[in-house]
Structure 1
Amino acid sequence: MKETTPVTKKRSPFSVAMGAAFMMAMAAVGPGFLTQTAMFTGQMGANFGFAILLCIIADIIVQLNIWRIIIVSGKRAQVLANEVVPGLGYVLTGLIFIGGFFFNIGNIGGAGLGLNVLFGIDPKNGALIAAAIAITVFVVKNAMTVVDRTVQFLAVIKIAVLIYILAVTTVPVATAVHHTFMPTEINFYSIVTIVGGTVGGYISFSGGHRLLEGGVRGQENIRYVNEGALTGIGVASVIRVMLFLAGLAVVLAGHTLDPANPAASIFQIAAGNFGYKFFGLLLLAAGMTSTLGSTFTSISFLNYSQNKESWVNKYRSALIITFILASTLIFYFIGSPAKVLVVVGAMNGMILPIALAILLVAAVKKNIMGTYRHPKWLLFTGWIVVAFMAYAAVQTLLTIKL
């Protein structure tokens, strides 16, 4: 897992920023992302476009705030939290690590299901194969460079699959646009869930922590924060919108999505068995990228030291193998139904206001940020997102039915 030489000597800050962008975006675009988007499109139709619009706006605010605060301070989120209130970082680590672990059960299971669709392999055995691939990617020489390239390659596959599906369907663009800006129904559960699935939990910090891992830190590197964060949000948003439009085309044509696997229904109805195979490819890519993202970020939350010889760095390969194997074995013996992916996404959405609030407090502390002044518009909009997501989380807790 360790680089033989510092990353900054081998890769430019822009290259590292793009790696961080795709790490964040593809960590978000996992099996849970596919399930959430398809399920809510089936339930809400074109009105789900409004939730996606709010999600994109929240994504921009959250990621620009979190990435900037982490990079300017040069400290991981859990270290910042401990400096805000002693011990708070350990609470944040617990929330992020547990959420990332349970999401990873769905990630590795999704990759296994993708192999099942493509080649008829038993999903449990497919999960074992996917786990072996993920572990191999992490433990090779120059691992983070390999992770970045793997994630970018799989992102291209995801987009190509969705372009094909949109090409063979009649896309209801006018209806989608109308209801996106003038919805007739607002569902707080859908908002909390998809925001949580895109920038909640571990996903909020995957890009910022990846930049630190690549040696990009300090106020002079803010431009790379903006480029990386906006690129990542753009990629994740494009994929979300494409999947939404494909699902909406199927729903408005009078079809009902299978609640057990709503995302698969979209592809199978749109393009028959060939489309279903394409869904398998998309699911495999989604499961693999999210496994890489959740593993990297969750393990990074265990590290409270700037020292390269810290125990986490020393035993990183063992920690990564344990994390992936444990989540794989839980899937192997228990399984991971689609509903779990949606519920965990909602949980991540509830964690988001807590995590963002901690970093916004850190952003205005001189003993943490030095002479840096965080932009007022980011502080203001950041607190708006905290308040809105907290309110939406309460509304969700009052109405959720498991």
Structure 2
Amino acid sequence: MTSKERNKFLRGAIFLMATSAIGPAFLTQTASFTQDYMASFAFAIVASLVIDIGVQLNIWRVISVSGQRGQEIANKVLPGLGYLVAGLIIFGGFAFNIGNLGGAGLGLNVLFDLPVEIGAIIITVFTIIIFSVRHFGRIMDVIVQIAGVVMILMTGYVMLNTDPPYTEALVQTIFPEENYVVLLLPLVTIVGGTVGGYISFAGGHRLVDAGITGKENVGFVSNASVLGILTTGVMRVFLFLMFLGVVTSGITLDENNPAATPFLYALGDVGYYMFGIVLTFAAISSVIGVAYTSISFLRSFHPIFEKYNGWFIAGFITISSLIFIAIGEPVTLLILAGAVNGMILPIVLTTILIASRKKSIVGDYRHPTWLLVFGAITVLFTIGASIIAFEEIVALWFN
């Protein structure tokens, strides 16, 4: 593989991971939590980015060095564990995809005044068409890169127009007014929304499919994982400041479509249509990332999953769409999806940390001790935070 080809796949992996995280759930979570916690939410955002980098470095390095997907690694750690991990990832993927399709419906509702359910069906058909193309990986890479750039530029522009209190946000990054324990629910949720469940494997599996594996590519893969998180981080900071600028001005976010309010407040009708574009792009790229990565966890279990990979992806998207149409409640689903994936994270990360020390998986590669310690702390923290936040997550569902 030439350097140019490798860089092309690198960009694809970075944006697949980043845009998978920057979905409708990402927008809705950030809107809701900024309104609830105001500038204190800055602490959760920065803490989540630090955790995300540690998680991605651990997972991407081990996947790349081993040249194996997550479920294959898990089965070598403990026979049968790969099936459990695959089941958890696919369950979390469904939770996210149902919410993503709800977000897609909201986006097309803004642009064309379509019923939310009809919008979800249109995006379902569009993404299925993408995966029906023989070399869908190349098309997927281009779409997620375009989507990522459009979302960052538009959100950055709106952020500047909302005039957020930058100094207050910076101070509360370290010294939030809210109790640190209270901030555990949003922290678990947004960690789950950026590296929980399937998202942490999205870029890594894309690199394995591209053949960018082995110890010789460790540095290259490490840079890719950090760039992916930083890309997500830029968008998250822009979104937070954008929402903070609005809520500190005394504006209440629309409870049915909270992420739309800053766009409408800052730029009027033009901004509202910009929001429709951002949300639709976010939905399409996230549906692609969820479906591609979730089904990649089945590909090594039986030749039929490899042979008909595109069809299984299409089925995954279709089932997600049908569940959304039956359930509704897109805003609640989008927040719950992040929380569910945040609770899955300790299981998959523990598996990867054990794998990093097994020669049968990584050969003579020596995983850095600081990364192992960082990962272990993250596991313990996310377990504790998930237990503490569980009651609020249940309350969110039943309320």
Query: Which TM class, normalised by the smaller chain length?
Result: over 0.9
Structure 1 pair 222–85 and aligned structure 2 pair: CA distance change class (3 A): same
The equivalences for 1:292-371 within 5 A come to: 292-304=288-300, 310-371=303-364
SS at match of 2:268: helix
Indicate whether 1:123 and 2:116 are aligned.
Answer: yes
1:247 to 243, 262, 276: 243
Confirm or deny: 8 A CA contact 1:72 1:222 kept in the other structure.
Answer: yes
Confirm or deny: 8 A CA contact 2:25 2:334 kept in the other structure.
Answer: yes
Structure 1 segments unaligned to the other structure (5+ residues):
1-7
TM-score, normalisation: structure 2: 0.95
The equivalent of 2:273 in structure 1 is 277
The equivalent of 2:193 in structure 1 is 197
The equivalent of 2:80 in structure 1 is 87
The equivalent of 2:377 in structure 1 is 384
CA distance in 1, matches of 2:8, 2:189: 31
Q: How many residues align?
A: 392
The amino acid that maps onto 1:358 is T
Indicate whether 1:221 and 2:217 are aligned.
Answer: yes
CA distance in 2, matches of 1:290, 1:346: 17
Indicate whether 1:51 and 2:51 are aligned.
Answer: no
Indicate whether 1:206 and 2:202 are aligned.
Answer: yes
How big is the alpha-carbon RMSD for the aligned residues of Structure 1 and Structure 2?
1.5
SS at match of 1:352: helix
Residues 148-205 of structure 1, C-alpha deviations (whole Å, 9 max, x = no match): 0000011111012112212322121111101112112121100000000010010011
1:287 to 283, 288, 300: 283
CA distance in 1, matches of 2:131, 2:330: 27
CA distance in 2, matches of 1:151, 1:360: 29
Shift of the alpha carbon at 1:136? 1.7
Shift of the alpha carbon at 1:11? 6.2
The equivalent of 1:141 in structure 2 is 134
Confirm or deny: 8 A CA contact 1:117 1:280 kept in the other structure.
Answer: yes
The equivalent of 1:3 in structure 2 is none
The equivalent of 1:160 in structure 2 is 153
The amino acid that maps onto 1:109 is G
Shift of the alpha carbon at 1:18? 1.5
The equivalent of 2:264 in structure 1 is 268
Confirm or deny: 8 A CA contact 1:111 1:283 kept in the other structure.
Answer: yes
Structure 2 segments unaligned to the other structure (5+ residues):
none
The amino acid that maps onto 1:383 is A
Indicate whether 1:184 and 2:182 are aligned.
Answer: no
1:132 to 120, 125, 133: 125
CA distance in 2, matches of 1:291, 1:74: 25
CA distance in 2, matches of 1:159, 1:366: 41
The percent identity for this pair of structures is 48
TM-score, normalisation: structure 1: 0.94
